[in-house]
A and B are shown apart, each in its own frame.
Chain A
């Protein structure tokens, strides 16, 4: 049995001045190489859960903590946000909110310089990022002149060059047009495959998310109500009370009274329908 890289034990969190707990009694193990989709309606605790993964909670937010979180074996209260951030990178939904520089190149270099890496290493990583994220054409451009999809690509690149083990993304495509959305999910798929990066993605667009996720965590009313593989999630989902917009092919198959193995990818659905 592998050891989990992140582990929550009976964890609860209440923000300062809030009346209720934003997360209640969370027990969760995340393993190396997991590709996890975090789903659920707004205000149920998705973002709060993500903030606990690199120490943003409890170090940047005040509140009451119960139980514990261990990140790479270290108790969250014993470490620091700097330490955890080296292992767990974080990408926000609005790429503009994390840009600090006036050119794409500087943006990518910002994190590396802060890690105090030797110049040679910085050069190697920059070169890698340019190839991996296809940034060649706009290195000297300011990030705000790029399209939404390109901007989010730069934001992800600037986190991934720091070589974290885990990449956390909070609704990475909500600000993007459909083209930009597909672009980001393709990049993520590639990263998971080539770099063996552990991905944890909160997302409303399940049609895209389910193309890459291998495990789903469903948060509802501040608790984890489902944690398991994608197929069982799609099969057991409450389609009567559509809290989350499931892929349309899944909705149709459920209504056609397919009880088990409901498809969630287009190709799969076309195949199954013709049978």
Chain B
């Protein structure tokens, strides 16, 4: 569990990036941090990962103050994937890059090898690339190598800053699907993103930032329902959410939800006022089947 208590952060140039922010994150959550550029999302995430030290306030991880952790211990608790993979890649082959974390943790060789294999498989980094220099790979692949190099440390919580920037739709989905898989294996996942359809599809909880403060913290649906606070933070919900509100007066988050729930609604409306010869009822229609 991560507890953030009243943290403030001032950058050396005087910018106040975080102002009295508190948040509690339970194990196994899938959270999206959203808000405009400069709203404090990344600074907040970097504080949790121990990359930046809050100017004021404290952060507890599993009850222990982050200040009292050694670097190595933090790495086992929280992994941070930078927005720009080039900010974290430093080795001259992909294999060295992915194994650098476990090597620093001084794990036995056999374990290092095992972890590199697992991590690169989940992240979709082909063995053929192991001897290549990361800088000659495409941006999408470099991002996967960056993620694999964090996964190989098997941290309990993983923070990914903009996992889908510059990726096309299929690549975005494959990155998100594997974060979902990790989440199902009880890893806590925190993503920072501007892609609202990704938030709608994957995150269960959304934290909305505005000017260094938390403006909203609720389930994804609740946050996307509150039009005024979204407008205040200048965030637009997914197109389908705006659409479903306009045409059905309902908040649906994804196309799938729209299609499924709309069908159910049409059916239940029909059942409440059944036409004389309803084909649904003729089939021996059991009213109970169409509720919800």
Contact = CB atoms under 8 A, between A and B. Distances in A.
Note whether A and B form a binding pair: yes
Interface of A: 40-43, 93, 147-148, 171, 174-180, 204, 207, 242-245, 247-249, 251-252, 255-256, 266, 269-270, 273-274
B239 A177 contact: no
A255 B37 CA distance: 35
A251 B138 CA distance: 29
A29 B245 CA distance: 42
B169 A41 contact: yes
Contacts of B37: 147-148, 176-177, 180
A178 B167 contact: no
A204 B259 CA distance: 24
B246 interface: yes
11 contacts: A41-B168, A42-B166, A42-B171, A171-B166, A174-B165, A179-B36, A243-B168, A245-B169, A248-B238, A248-B240, A266-B243
Contacts of B259: 252, 255-256
A267 B235 CA distance: 19
B247 interface: yes
Contacts of B226: none
A255 B255 contact: yes
A238 to B, nearest CB: 13
Given A147-B38, A178-B235, A179-B36, A42 B243 contact: no
Nearest to B242: A266
A171 B246 CA distance: 30
B167 to A, nearest CB: 7
Interface in B215-258: 234-236, 238-240, 242-243, 246-247, 255, 258
A42 B239 contact: no
B246 A242 contact: no
B169 A244 contact: yes
B194 A42 contact: no
Interface string B170-192: 11100000000000000000000
A249 B239 contact: yes
A248 B37 CA distance: 24
Interface string B153-172: 00000000000011111111
A151 B90 CA distance: 28
Contacts of A176: 37, 194
Contacts of B243: 248-249, 252, 266, 269-270, 273
Given A252-B258, A274-B247, A204 B239 contact: no
B60 interface: no
B197 A248 contact: yes
A274 B249 CA distance: 12
B83 to A, nearest CB: 9
Interface string B201-216: 0000000000000000
Nearest to A245: B169
Interface in B88-146: 138, 140
A42 B170 CA distance: 9
Nearest to B233: A179
Pairs A-B, 4 closest by C-beta atoms: A248-B240, A245-B169, A248-B239, A41-B168
B247 A273 contact: yes
B197 A252 contact: no
Contacts of A242: 169
A178 to B, nearest CB: 5
Contacts of B247: 270, 273-274
A171 B140 CA distance: 15
Nearest to A251: B255
A235 to B, nearest CB: 17
B169 A204 contact: yes
B242 A243 contact: no
Nearest to A256: B259
B238 to A, nearest CB: 6
A42 B140 contact: yes
A255 to B, nearest CB: 5
Contacts of A243: 168-170
B280 interface: no
A175 B235 CA distance: 16
Given A171-B166, A174-B166, A252 B194 contact: no
A256 B263 CA distance: 10
A42 B235 contact: no
B196 interface: yes
Nearest to A174: B166
A204 B165 CA distance: 10
